[in-house]
Structure 1
Amino acid sequence: MCQHQPACPTADSADREAARLTAHHPEQGWSLLCNGVLLFEDTGELLPDGQIIAPHRPLAAGRVTTAA
C-alpha cells in the first residue's frame, strides 16, 4: 500500500500508528493511515485484516497521589 520512502510501518508492526494519514475525518472520529489502519479518536484501531485493537489511551500525565 505505502508508496513513501522510507516506507511507513506495516499494519502488523508495533509502531503502525506512525504511518502517514491518507484520510482524516475528525467530525466522524476516524483517520485512515497509508498502511490500511483505521485509527479512531478514542485510540482504538481496526486493522486491514479485521482485527480490532481496543482503545489504549495513556494514563493522565502529571497526576501525583499522596497519602494523607
Structure 2
Amino acid sequence: MCQHQPPCPTSGDPDHEAARVVASHPEQGWSLLCNGVVVFEDTGELLPDGGVIAPHRPTYIRTAA
C-alpha cells in the first residue's frame, strides 16, 4: 500500500503509528495512515483487518494540587 521510500511500517509492525498520514479529518477526530490504520484522537486505532486497539495513552493532564 505504501509508495514511500523507505516504505512506512506495515500495520502489523510495532511502530505502525509512524506511517505517514494520507487523509486527516481533525474535525471528526481521526486520520488514515498509508498502511491502512485509522488512528483516533483518543489514541484508539482501527486496523485494516478489522482489529481494534483500545486507547492506550492518557487523554488528560493531571495538574498539581
Using the size of structure 1 for normalisation, the TM-score is 0.84
Residues paired across the two proteins, number: 64
Question: TM (normalized to structure 2)?
Answer: 0.88
Q: In 1, Cα distance between the equivalents of 2:11 and 2:27?
A: 24
Once superposed, what is the RMSD of the aligned Cα atoms? 1.9
Who wins on radius of gyration, i.e. which is larger?
Answer: 1
User: Which consecutive unaligned segments of at least 5 residues does structure 2 have?
Assistant: none
Counterpart in 2 of 1:46? 46
What is the deviation of 1:30?
Answer: 0.1
CA distance in 1, matches of 2:45, 2:12: 12
Alignment deviations for residues 23-53 of structure 1 (CA, whole Å, 9 cap, x no partner): 0000000000000000000000000000000
For 1:40, the aligned partner's letter is F
- Runs (4 or more) in structure 1 with deviation over 3 Å come to 58-61
Counterpart of 1:56 in structure 2 is 56
